[in-house]
């Protein structure tokens, strides 16, 4: 049984469910819940929050790693993704090693939420996609959900799992909507099929999956091929084997990610699929190698817009 719900409402609903189920969860961060203090969680669960901390990302994230190792389940809202660069060390060089170095005796399952991607007119310092850098860290789980269903399942997975995780929330997803089935089992499936088609397949992350779906619809409506679209809701540990199995049988695959191409999840998945499915034609759509310009007209020249994705799909279809 499904109902349509906004993305941010699904996120708040997942948080409430997790808070009810596990008294060790503590929410910390720059706002009570990302961008939606009106969701009521702060009023309903005041003793579960450490809201409005000092502007000390390194200290806060380091503290949350220690708290997680000591048995709390901290969920830290960093806000704009680039703020996490101040607190990079605990996220990339402390939490992910603790399970490995202790031989599994201790783990630090801290959950970090970042608001990522081009918000439009945010400019060079507020529109990064740090998941491209984070995916290089062994032991860290990176989620890139695209729909209310996937953000709901991702939160439930991360807050019941045993690994440190970064939930990459695209800043433009909050007001999108979709169906939500609250009885879906966790863990979340890393590959979420958003559209089915026999001719080719588009593999994308986060907001790019919605743009890819729109591009595929346009192409099909215009008499073009019918394409599958898959959102990679978890980029690490990498689901590339499952993905290669999905690509096998399609003539071509297009990989879309909002990161700059060097080291993006799309680049890595493309390389793995190229090895595993050598007969498929593959194409890559990423943001051009430039900082995000303030002007939205300029921004649209570098990010994967629906139009640019559609062009790539046409080229791939031949």
Partner 1 sequence: MNVPDDRFQLLRLLLSARRFDEAVLRLGPEIDGHHHVSHGLEASAAAVGLVRREGDLIATNFRNHAHLICAGHDPSVMLAEILGRHVPPQLGRSGSMHLAAPRAGVLYTSAMVAGGIPQSIGYALALKRTESGGIAFCLFGDGAVQEGVAHESFNLASLWGLPVVFLCENNGTMDGSHANAYQASPSMSALAEAHAISSSVVSGRDPRETVAAVREAADQVREQSRPRFLDVQSGAWVGNQTFYPTDVTGPTDLRRAAAPTGSDWDDRDDPILAEARSLLADDVPMDALLEVDAEVRRRIEQATTEALELAEAPGSLAEIAGAGVWSGS
**Applying CB under 8 A, which residues contact partner 1?**
24, 26, 50, 53-54, 56, 58-72, 74, 89-90, 93-94, 97-108, 138-139, 141, 161-163, 237
Rounded least distance, CB 172 to partner 1, Å: 29
Give dist(CA 285, CA 303) in Å, integer.
9
CB 229 within 8 A of CB 255: no
Task: Please identify, using beta-carbon distances, which residue of 106 and 315 lies nearer to partner 1.
Answer: 106
Nearer to partner 1, 158 or 285 (CB): 158
Q: Cβ closer to partner 1: 49 or 294?
A: 49
Q: Tokens 């540990």 sit at which residue?
A: 237
What is the smallest separation between the CB atom of 110 and partner 1, expressed in angstroms? 9
Nearer to partner 1, 139 or 304 (CB): 139
Output 138 or 290, the one with its CB closest to partner 1: 138
Would you state the structure tokens that stand for residue 94, as one six-digit string? 């402390």
In the complex with partner 1, the residue whose CB is nearer, 96 or 200, is 96
Q: Considering the complex, what minimum distance in angstroms separates the CB of residue 166 from partner 1?
A: 13
By CB neighbour count within 10 A (0-12 exposed, 13-18 middle, 19+ buried), where does 138 fall?
A: exposed
- Smallest distance from partner 1 to CB 185, Å: 16
Tokens representing 171 are 């800043």
Q: How far is the CB of 52 from partner 1 (least distance, A)?
A: 11
Closest approach of partner 1 to the CB of residue 43, in Å: 20
> Which of residues 158 and 303 has its CB atom nearest to partner 1 in the complex?
158
Alpha-carbon distances of 199 from 141, 252, 271, 282, rounded to whole Å:
32, 8, 21, 13
Nearest distance from C-beta of residue 105 to partner 1, angstroms: 5
């Amino acid at each position: 049984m499904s109902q349509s719900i906004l993305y941010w409402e699904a996120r708040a609903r997942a948080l409430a469910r997790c808070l009810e189920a596990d008294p060790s969860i503590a929410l910390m961060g720059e706002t009570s819940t990302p961008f939606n203090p009106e969701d009521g969680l702060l009023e309903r669960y005041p003793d579960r929050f450490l809201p409005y901390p000092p502007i000390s990302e390194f200290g806060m994230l380091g503290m949350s790693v220690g708290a997680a190792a000591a048995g709390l389940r901290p969920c830290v809202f960093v806000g704009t993704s680039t703020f996490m660069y101040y607190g990079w060390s605990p996220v990339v060089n402390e939490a992910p090693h603790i399970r490995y170095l202790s031989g599994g005796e201790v783990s630090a399952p801290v959950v970090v939420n970042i608001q990522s991607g081009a918000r439009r007119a945010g400019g060079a310092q507020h529109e990064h996609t740090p998941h491209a850098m984070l995916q290089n860290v062994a032991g860290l789980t990176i989620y890139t959900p695209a729909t209310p269903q996937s953000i709901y399942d991702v939160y439930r997975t991360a807050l019941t799992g045993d690994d440190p995780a970064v939930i990459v929330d695209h800043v433009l997803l909050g007001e999108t909507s979709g169906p939500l089935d609250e009885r879906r089992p966790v863990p979340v499936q890393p590959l979420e099929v958003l559209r089915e088609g026999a001719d080719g397949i588009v593999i994308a992350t986060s907001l790019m999956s919605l743009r890819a779906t729109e591009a595929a619809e346009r192409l099909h409506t215009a008499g073009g091929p019918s394409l599958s679209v898959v959102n990679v809701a978890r980029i690490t540990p990498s689901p590339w084997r499952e993905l290669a199995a999905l690509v096998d049988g399609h003539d071509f695959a297009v990989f879309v990610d909002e990161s700059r191409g060097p080291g993006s999840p799309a680049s890595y998945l493309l390389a793995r699929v190229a090895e595993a499915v050598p007969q498929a034609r593959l194409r890559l759509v990423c943001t051009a190698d430039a900082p995000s310009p303030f002007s939205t007209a300029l921004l649209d020249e570098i990010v994967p817009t629906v139009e640019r994705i559609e062009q790539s799909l046409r080229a791939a279809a031949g």
